[in-house]
Structure 1
Amino acid sequence: MRVVPRRRKDRGSPPGPVPAGRSAGAAVATPVPPSGGTETLELGPPPSEAAVKRRARAAERQRATTELKRSRAARRRGTARRDRAAREHRSSLLVMVITLGLLIATVVVSGGLIAASMRTRPVTLAAPLHIYPVTQTVPGQCPAGTQGITGQSSSGLACYQMSQGIAIRKVADLRVQRARNRGAYDVAVTLRTNDRRAFATLTRATLNRDLAFVVRERLVTVPRVDTPILDGKVVITGPASKAEANQLVRSLRGR
């Protein structure tokens, strides 16, 4: 009896034919695809020269656009700085002009006040100015004991008899002025407030009569009262020249 070895049962598929050059039972290596699938890395052809030029032009345009934006931003910043500097300069000029205007106005006002104070400063007379109402004018010198004073009239010496008058020691203003309707000059006397009332009363009582202005017992002038003087502004007419008017001012001052 012959013993035959039992054939091992193969659970898989029956073995195929053995390739040439290989012995039976040799292991066969099967290529395994990469993990994650069957993708493969393929390198395409190099870019063409036109594509390279297009990319270069696009990059150049992008750089130019960036530079233009930077330039515009820098110009805007420079314009803003110039505008701010111009506004500050205009503000400084405006402040300077206003300050100069205020300074000029202050000088003008101060000068006006000084001039006004000089005009309104009282004039102290060297001797009291006596003003008497003239009651009668007699030709020739005054007799002894007569309440009057001898002076020169248009017809020669005359005795001016007088009644009670007032005495003025200071005036607000005393000057020569040009006559309005004539080519001659007048003498303007402005009385102070405390003398105006007495002089107004005197001129009311002597309307269309003469007043004698006497300084140091000497008759200076004898003007006629044409209207009551209530504001203390006396205008003595008569001097034919400016020299005569200046001499009358000196005499009224007591010099």
Structure 2
Amino acid sequence: MATSRTTLRLNPDAQDAEDPDARRRARSIARQRQAAEVKRSRAELRGGRARQDGREQAVREHRAALVTMILTLGILIAAVAVTGGLIANSMRDRPVTLAAPLQVFPVTQTSPGQCPAGTQGVTGQTTTGLVCYQLAQGIAIRKVSDLRVQRGRSGSAYDVAVTLRPSDRKAFAQLTRATVGRDVAFVVSNRLITAPRVEMPITDGKVVITGTPDHASANRLVHDLKGR
């Protein structure tokens, strides 16, 4: 009877199971793999936290920059407003120098026609013709604090407002106290500009000339009072 030759091969796993060194090596490799996984997980966690911290830091920096910009803009606006106010105040406080002295005389008498030679007076043109205004001793004003057109109280007419300097207010107050109910002549370069009636003493230096019919007439009166 013939027999066949067979070959018996050992199972490597079975052989390793029987080898203690192999088991130790396998456990060591497993521990190394586990440690590597833990290390990689921790690194990923730290990276995520770092990115989150970076985003939060960027947000904080952006907010801080925005607040700084808003504060800076507010300071600039406030500075511009203060500077504009100071400039406006300085412009209001700057006196207006008249091209020729503005002389104010009490009117003692008026008569039709031109003033005769030697008369202490000035001839003016009215709607009825020439009128001679005889004058008493007056005052001369060379600068005023303000001279402008303003809307009249009625809303339909315009007034001319003159603000005198403190140095002229006392003399003008004395003059108007003595001429309540009478006319005073405003004369520039020997030319009668206007002759308004004094309604009350003006002691605060704020003179308002009423009766100009329109804005153009009020502007002409301002121009004439300035001597231009």
Q: TM-score normalised to the size of structure 1?
A: 0.70
Runs of 4+ with >6 A deviation: 56-65
Provide the C-alpha distance between the structure 2 equivalents of 1:135 and 1:57, rounded to a whole number of angstroms. Answer: 127
Q: Do structure 1's residue 72 and structure 2's residue 45 form an aligned pair?
A: yes
Provide the C-alpha distance between the structure 1 equivalents of 2:153 and 2:48, rounded to a whole number of angstroms. Answer: 72
Q: Give the letter aligned to residue 187 of structure 1.
A: V
Indicate the residue corresponding to 1:91 in structure 2: 64
Q: Do structure 1's residue 137 and structure 2's residue 74 form an aligned pair?
A: no
Indicate the residue corresponding to 1:216 in structure 2: 189
| TM-fit CA distance, 1:236 | 0.9
- In structure 2, stretches of 5+ residues that fail to align are 1-16, 20-28
Indicate the residue corresponding to 1:28 in structure 2: none
Indicate the residue corresponding to 1:158 in structure 2: 131
Q: How does 1:219-230 map to 2 (within 5 A)?
A: 219-230=192-203
Provide the C-alpha distance between the structure 2 equivalents of 1:164 and 1:86, rounded to a whole number of angstroms. Answer: 80
Match of 1:171 among 118, 125, 144: 144
Q: Do structure 1's residue 241 and structure 2's residue 214 form an aligned pair?
A: yes
- In structure 1, stretches of 5+ residues that fail to align are 1-43, 47-55
Q: TM-score normalised to the size of structure 2?
A: 0.78
Match of 2:80 among 107, 110, 114: 107
Indicate the residue corresponding to 2:94 in structure 1: 121
Provide the C-alpha distance between the structure 2 equivalents of 1:68 and 1:221, rounded to a whole number of angstroms. Answer: 99
- 1:93-129 alpha-carbon deviations (Å, 9 max, x no partner): 2222212221222222222222322232211111100
SS, match of residue 172 in structure 1: strand
- 1:23-76 alpha-carbon deviations (Å, 9 max, x no partner): xxxxxxxxxxxxxxxxxxxxx979xxxxxxxxx999988876665544333322
Provide the C-alpha distance between the structure 2 equivalents of 1:85 and 1:78, rounded to a whole number of angstroms. Answer: 10
| TM-fit CA distance, 1:154 | 4.3
| TM-fit CA distance, 1:140 | 2.5
- 1:152-198 alpha-carbon deviations (Å, 9 max, x no partner): 23433222122111100111111222223231221111111211121
Q: Give the letter aligned to residue 199 of structure 2.
A: D
Q: Do structure 1's residue 200 and structure 2's residue 173 form an aligned pair?
A: yes
Provide the C-alpha distance between the structure 1 equivalents of 2:30 and 2:197, rounded to a whole number of angstroms. Answer: 113
Provide the C-alpha distance between the structure 1 equivalents of 2:52 and 2:46, rounded to a whole number of angstroms. Answer: 10
Q: How does 1:13-52 map to 2 (within 5 A)?
A: none
SS, match of residue 79 in structure 1: helix
Structure showing the higher helix proportion among its residues = 2
Provide the C-alpha distance between the structure 2 equivalents of 1:152 and 1:73, rounded to a whole number of angstroms. Answer: 99
SS, match of residue 131 in structure 2: strand
- 1:215-247 alpha-carbon deviations (Å, 9 max, x no partner): 111110001111222221111112112221111
Q: Give the letter aligned to residue 215 of structure 1.
A: V
RMSD: 2.8
Indicate the residue corresponding to 1:181 in structure 2: 154
Q: How many residues align?
A: 207
Q: Give the letter aligned to residue 177 of structure 1.
A: Q
SS, match of residue 197 in structure 1: helix
Q: Percent same amino acid at aligned positions?
A: 60
SS, match of residue 211 in structure 2: coil
Q: Give the letter aligned to residue 172 of structure 2.
A: F
| TM-fit CA distance, 1:130 | 0.1
